[in-house]
């Protein structure tokens, strides 16, 4: 028989039509996403493909994609999102960030909230969920994308086996295993990443920075961190 795999994102029609709850939380912070062709090398010579710039008031995430640079700012509580998205306001924010003027084009601007949510189950009969349709989380650290890839990696052979005649209890195993990973690993680590990024008290920032520095200079700890972030240390 046929199966339907819902991989249609966080607003999944498949999940909603299956009547599944999507419990969790939404962070109070709102974020401004700016797509631009701004060359940041002159301002930050050692900038990498993915960058987290920590600041207790206005931290910044910078992602270099093939055709655009994405800059993410946290909006202040007193800011109106629609006003912050205006071109003049965007340019003023970037100038304040760079502490100077720069020449660049703005390709797109949007604002969004960050959620931590997991579907109650990843299987209902012949319907299966994977990726953002099954679970969403704070994107810093890349665990949302990585865990979605792992979902597909685990689901594909089980589904193929069932279609070849194996017991469909294999698919219950997929749902149970991946739900457990989403709840215990992805949600916990991504929530910690968010807390680290948003840390405001001197004690919190000092502790975070000490751990990061210790990890950066120790090859074994750095490797362990990268394996965990990519979920390549998972053994399910």
The total of structural domains in the chain comes to: 2
CATH number, residue 184: 3.50.50.60
Query: Looking at 115, 146, 169, which one is the last position of a domain?
Result: 115
Paired tokens of 21 = 């709850």
Task: With a cut of 60, say whether residue 235 has pLDDT above it.
Answer: no
Q: Are 78 and 88 in contact (CB under 8 A)?
A: no
Q: Please compute Rg for the chain using Cα positions.
A: 20
pLDDT in tens, 100-159: 999 999 999 999 998 889 999 999 999 999 999 999 988 777 777 888 999 999 999 999
Kindly state the tokens that stand for 219.
């090859």
Which of 98, 115, 132 lies at the terminal end of a domain, its last residue?
115
Give me the helices (H) in the chain, please.
13-17, 81-84, 87-98, 143-163, 169-181, 187-198, 202-217, 219-230
127 within some domain: yes
173 and 78 in one domain? no
For residue 236, is it within any domain? no
83, 115, 147: which is the final residue of a domain?
115
Q: How far is CA 40 from CA 37, 103, 168, 191, 207, in A?
A: 9, 11, 52, 28, 29
User: What's the pTM?
Assistant: 0.80
Residue 105 shares a structural domain with residue 150 = no
In this predicted model, what pLDDT tens digit does every residue of 34-78 receive, in sequence order? Answer: 999 999 999 999 999 999 887 777 789 999 999 999 999 989 888
Residue pLDDT, tens place only, 161-211: 999 999 999 999 999 999 998 888 766 776 777 777 677 788 888 888 888
Query: By residue range, what is the domain housing residue 224?
Result: 4-21+120-230
């Amino acid at each position: 028989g046929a199966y339907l795999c819902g991989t249609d994102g966080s607003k999944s029609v498949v999940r909603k039509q299956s009547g599944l709850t999507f419990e969790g939380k939404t962070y109070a912070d709102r974020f401004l996403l700016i797509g631009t062709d701004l060359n940041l090398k002159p301002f930050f010579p050692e900038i990498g493909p993915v960058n987290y710039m920590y600041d207790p008031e206005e931290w910044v995430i910078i992602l270099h994609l093939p055709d655009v640079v994405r800059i993410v700012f946290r909006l202040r509580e007193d800011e109106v999102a629609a006003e912050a998205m205006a071109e003049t306001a965007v340019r003023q924010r970037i100038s304040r960030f760079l502490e100077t003027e720069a020449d660049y084009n703005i390709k797109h601007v949007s604002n969004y909230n960050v959620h931590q949510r997991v579907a109650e189950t990843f299987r209902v009969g012949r319907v299966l969920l994977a990726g953002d349709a099954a679970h969403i989380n704070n994107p810093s650290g890349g665990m949302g994308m990585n865990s979605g890839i792992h979902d597909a990696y685990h689901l594909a052979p089980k589904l193929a086996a069932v279609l070849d005649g194996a017991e469909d209890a294999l698919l219950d195993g997929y749902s149970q295993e991946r739900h457990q990973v989403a709840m215990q690993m992805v949600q916990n680590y991504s929530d910690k990443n968010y807390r680290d990024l948003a840390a405001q008290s001197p004690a919190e920032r000092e502790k975070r920075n000490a751990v990061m520095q210790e990890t950066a200079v120790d090859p074994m700890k750095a490797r362990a961190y990268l394996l965990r972030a990519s979920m390549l240390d998972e053994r399910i």
